[in-house]
Structure 1
Amino acid sequence: MGTLPRSAPRRYGIGLVVLALAATACTSGGGDGPAGEPVPDTDAAVLTITPENGTEAVAPNTPITVSTEDGAISEVVVAQVVPDQAEEDVSPFEMTGTLNEEGTEWTSDWNLAPGAQVTVTATAEDGAGGTSELVHEFTTEAAVPGQRLEVAYNYPTSGDTVGVGMPIVVGFDLPVTNKAAVENSMKVVSEQGVAGSWRWLDDKTAAFRTEERWEPYQEVAVELRLAGVEASDGIYGVQDRHLRFEVGRELLVDMNVPDHEAVVTIDGEEVRTIPVSNGDGTSNFSTTSSGVHVLMERHETLLMDSDTVDLPAGRDGYSTEVRYAIRTSNSGEFFHEASYNGNIGSANTSNGCTNMRLDDAEWFFENTLTGDIVETTGTDRVKEWYNGWGYWQLSWDEWLSESATGEPQVTDGTDPPRSPHGGE
């Protein structure tokens, strides 16, 4: 997908190919001297690159800058090679940079891979059409064992098709203290751009939610450009990742608990009314929570065991195997088959889950997606925003206020709001 500049109209990318070039400056445009050698063009553009040629152990989050005072930069190519590591294992992306309006200064947009051999080849043109080239080679500091930030898990995963309420959740293997730098290294791009924001659930987990629900029928890409980001003091990301998923049709479930039914609509058309039995309400635990739920993990068969929610069997507890179970919270709420419940459609007698008959449960399981929305009303227990994927319980301003940057990220291809090179 296209990458737009942060603040200027031109941007140049890189290829991930090793360039066996010497660190020299060349010019063209002059005539031949008496001995047939080129005559230097005194008006040629003079280029400067930082880091300096030959520098070793450059911090990976150091920006590359290229400048010229006597012409305009026409191309910058950055090649990164990490010894004993395949190019695709380092990054699936090209390095891009931002060129100022005058065309005289270029700055890299993203961090560099740790432990890399870096070659920067810059070309500039002078007013007479001559070209100058400068090549710098340097190495970056390696990320040492125990201080290498990696992605431990992510939702959704590449290839998934999800509902319009789906968040993007990224979990890391190490705590992150430079949260703004990491946020600004994670870019979300959708075919239909919308404002969104990351929010940190804890020091190892960040979640992305859009201001409004995703528009259906579109592709979303997540660029985790984490290689070289300083996540905490001396701890660097070591690998970039690229995730792609599809947002499917808009399926919404409207469930008013006292009505004993769940009404399913797809793209605005009512497709099924499902008789249900919800929580009996005799305790907070056994009360189905009201609010916006997002369908989470799915199990064709699942042992519903109250031990997992600190309610031992034998003391109002239970241990029952059910079919077609879909989680809606982390506090034990599921939609699932409950053929043993004779009150489905007439009374609320469950332990807090939404019970369905077998045929309805099978239909619900086969026709819903992770990320579909269930709006539940009619009880005095309000779903907590942090309980499962209850993120739609917060207003957009409340969600955005806990972003480390405090600014929205627009998913139209625009880069994150700040540079990933620095910290907060």
Structure 2
Amino acid sequence: MNHVAKRAVASRATAPTWAGLFVVLAVLTGCTGTGSIFGGSAGPPQEAIQVTPQDGAKNIGPDGRLAVKAPDGRLRSVEVTRTEGARRRAVPGEIARDGRSWTPRGSEGRIRLGAKYSVDAVAVDGSGNRTTRHTTFTTLVPGHRFIGYFKPENRSTVGTGMIVSFDFSRPVTHRAAVQRAIKVTAVPPVEVVGHWFGADRLDFRPAEYWKPGTEVTVEMALRDVEGAPHVYGTQDKKVVFEIGRSQSSLVDAAAHTMEVRRDGELVSTIPITAGAAGKTTTYNGKMVVSEMREVTRMDGRTVGFGGEYDIKDVPHAIRLTDSGTFLHGNYWSDEGIFGSENVSHGCVGLEDVRGGSSDTPAGRFYDRTLIGDVVEVVNSEDKKVAPDNGLGGWNLDWTRWKAGSALR
């Protein structure tokens, strides 16, 4: 990208400066003749145009400074390009109003690792004499990288309880730097705060559920951010998703019912079976739908129940926690248990048929559910679900949520 400054006009005030600089350069270089320093024979161009990092520099780190200066002239144009692999990209920047310096602009101006930079600058003196400078430098190629696996997906429509969640591939010790590099904004605007769960997970949410119709943008500027000593991020990405209609469901484990509300209005009450009394009770608390499968296998050995069950075709499975709590269709139990008994191994079961059907209670609920919808369980004999078990962050009040931010 070219950045053009107006040509300087000579004045009596500037003439002594050029003359003095000519004398100094003549002494230092031993050159002869009367040519301008911008003409080439009176002095080396690096004295007229200074580039940082210096020409030929290697292994420049992410904290390196990129700048171009013309201490005794005016920059006419500056073009900086970055090459990563086979991809070339212009680095945006601005020439100062006095024409003496150029600096990069925005996140694109930050030094990127594993890249080669080239700088082409043109400067003029007060008489309009011109000089050019071409320099190159390369940046550090880190041996260790990290990425953040995130949800929800780009361009998705999600429920009002959706939490933006990052799971990092390596432990993060520089939490403030990483959190600062991730920006979550909303239209209409609302405060969104990040909360760390350990060293490898960062979630974002507002104080209350999102309003329907909100557009949420997640900007990740993690590339070359040092997440831990000598471990740098790779992602430079933007994700946009939309909040759909409001739907929340209240499971009463004691009453064996689930009340479903749309936009605050009760639309249905569904008979359910929850976790059996004793060791297989269902968690209390607010859980957010994070995954939906029309059919899945549920094997008790994967969640600590040994060989107590292995059902290869569970229909209409809606994941509520990472530890294995689902709301799902149940075709193997007697119809009479729904609305009257709790017999599951911790999940919430709705009446269904083998293979699933859109005409069953489970099928109708599944078809009307979005990732990000909230399901809250009350009156169970179990404890409240942990806030980091799935997208359980709504179980923390706003004060405790903000206390988990690294930007305080």
**TM-score under structure 1 normalisation?**
0.71
Residues 1:243 and 2:242 are matched in the alignment: no
**Aligned CA distance change for structure 1 residues 210 and 277 (closer, same or farther; 3 Å):** same
**Which of 207, 214, 217 pairs up with 1:221?**
217
- Post-superposition shift, 1:148? 2.4
Residues 1:352 and 2:346 are matched in the alignment: yes
User: Equivalences for 1:35-184 in 2 at 5 Å?
Assistant: 50-52=52-54, 55-64=57-66, 79-84=81-86, 86=87, 108-110=105-107, 111-118=110-117, 137-145=135-143, 147-151=144-148, 153-184=149-180
Which secondary structure state, in structure 2, belongs to the residue aligned with residue 336 of structure 1?
strand
**1:326-362 alpha-carbon deviations (Å, 9 max, x no partner):** 1111232111111233310122222221111121111
Which secondary structure state, in structure 1, belongs to the residue aligned with residue 401 of structure 2?
helix
Bigger CA drift: 297-306 or 47-56? 47-56
- Post-superposition shift, 1:255? 2.0
**1:77-134 alpha-carbon deviations (Å, 9 max, x no partner):** 76422132x359xxxx98689x99xxx996755333212233568999xxxxx9x999
**TM-score under structure 2 normalisation?**
0.74
Q: What fraction of aligned residue pairs are identical, expressed as a percent?
A: 31
Residues 1:376 and 2:377 are matched in the alignment: yes
- Write the distance in 2 (CA, Å) between the matches of 1:108 and 1:61: 15
Residues 1:257 and 2:253 are matched in the alignment: yes
- Write the distance in 2 (CA, Å) between the matches of 1:250 and 1:135: 60
**Which of 384, 388, 391 pairs up with 1:389?**
391
1:329 maps to: 321
CA contact (8 A) 1:61 1:230 kept: no
AA of the residue aligned to 2:7: S
CA contact (8 A) 1:61 1:229 kept: no
AA of the residue aligned to 1:356: L
Q: Which has the higher contact order (CA 8 A, sep 6+)?
A: 1
**Which of 307, 312, 319 pairs up with 2:306?**
312
CA contact (8 A) 2:117 2:138 kept: yes
**Aligned CA distance change for structure 1 residues 159 and 60 (closer, same or farther; 3 Å):** same
Q: Which runs of 5+ in 1 are unaligned?
A: 1-14, 41-45, 125-129, 407-424
CA contact (8 A) 2:51 2:135 kept: no
**1:53-100 alpha-carbon deviations (Å, 9 max, x no partner):** 65433212335467899999999976422132x359xxxx98689x99
CA contact (8 A) 2:223 2:233 kept: yes
Which secondary structure state, in structure 1, belongs to the residue aligned with residue 197 of structure 2?
strand
Structure number with greater Rg is 2
CA contact (8 A) 2:214 2:243 kept: yes
**Which of 298, 301, 305 pairs up with 2:292?**
298
Which secondary structure state, in structure 1, belongs to the residue aligned with residue 331 of structure 2?
coil
Which secondary structure state, in structure 1, belongs to the residue aligned with residue 114 of structure 2?
coil
Q: Which runs of 5+ in 2 are unaligned?
A: 16-34, 39-47, 353-359
Residues 1:30 and 2:9 are matched in the alignment: yes
- Write the distance in 1 (CA, Å) between the matches of 2:139 and 2:289: 43
The size of the alignment, in residue pairs, is 358
- Write the distance in 2 (CA, Å) between the matches of 1:233 and 1:87: 29
Bigger CA drift: 202-211 or 56-65? 56-65
